[in-house]
Structure 1
Amino acid sequence: MTQNAQTKKNEQQFTSISPSKTADADKLVEVITNALLEKKGEEITILDVHELTTLTDKFVVCHATSEVQIKALANSVIQATKEELGESVWKEEGRESRRWVILDYVNVVVHIFKKELRDYYALERMWNDAEVTRVEDN
């Protein structure tokens, strides 16, 4: 990678020059977390994993108390990212079962759990070397 490409990469704040990645992961995370807060997502946590894996740059993890709330959280994220950024989810899993929904935006992956499953799978422990940011509702 040339020095100019490295500088451009740093300025755009993403870890790959892949055109399929969103130019500003931080803006995407902001829209996602606001959508989760709006629908009362619980214990919203951002894991910065860009130095630990090539799968994605960040995980946004939260949980809900019911299957209805899980659906509302997922729908809120999908709607907000589309309306505010023009971003569509690349892949999604679990919206029908509503126990663990994964919304993959390539460089940001959203995990919406039922509380019991979040405790069981413990993504935060699995990725314990990641930089962790907890999102608080102001």
Structure 2
Amino acid sequence: MPEKANANVEPVQDYVLDDVLKEIADASIEKRAERVRILDVRKAVTYTDAVVICSGQSDRQLRTIADYIDRQLRKKFQLHPSSVEGRDSASWVCMDYGDIIIHVFYGPARMYYDIDNVWPEGMERTDELVEYPD
């Protein structure tokens, strides 16, 4: 009889990082997020591979964007966040998917926290993964 698998072992993730990042960008834009940025931070930190930053024009829109991203990642990749902070906030929702951290800001809060300038140059992947409709 085969040995029982260790229940504490995470299942192998059946996705490619770029596919997930593209889905996050597409979902954000579908809900009219602004200034979507995707950063490959593997050379700067060890706790995640990518950071996605986007903005909404109201607290309602930022929750809509965050909820829609979460639904799409669950549906298409069976990904669930290990934590979500600020879901009831009017200014910032942070979703931690391990390999990817997603920040959805209300526009003025994004400017206040200046998260766009936290990361060194050369990490930008936005141009290759984000497509705005014409």
TM bin, normalised by shorter chain, reads 0.7 to 0.9
Residues 61-86 of structure 1: per-residue CA shift (max 9 Å, x gap): 00111001011001100100011111
Match of 1:108 among 94, 100, 110: 100
Deviation of 1:51 (Å): 0.5
Determine which structure has the larger helix proportion and give its number: 1
Q: CA RMSD in A?
A: 1.9
Counterpart Cα distance in 2 of 1:65 and 1:136: 19
Deviation of 1:56 (Å): 0.7
Identity %: 28
2:132 is equivalent to residue 137 of structure 1: yes
Please, what TM-score do these two structures have when normalized by structure 2? 0.82
2:63 is equivalent to residue 71 of structure 1: yes
Question: 2:73 matched to which residue of 1?
Answer: 81
Counterpart Cα distance in 2 of 1:27 and 1:39: 19
Change (3 A) 1:132 1:68: same
Deviation of 1:34 (Å): 1.1
Counterpart Cα distance in 2 of 1:71 and 1:45: 18
2:68 is equivalent to residue 46 of structure 1: no
Counterpart Cα distance in 2 of 1:127 and 1:42: 19
Aligned residue pairs total 121
Please, what TM-score do these two structures have when normalized by structure 1? 0.80
Deviation of 1:121 (Å): 1.4
CA contact under 8 A between 1:20 and 1:106: conserved in structure 2? no
Q: Secondary structure at the match of 1:106?
A: coil
Within a 5 Å distance, the mapping from 1:1-80 to structure 2 comes to 22=13, 23-80=15-72
Counterpart Cα distance in 2 of 1:131 and 1:93: 24
Gaps of 5+ in 1: 1-17
Residues 39-74 of structure 1: per-residue CA shift (max 9 Å, x gap): 001000001111100121110000111001011001
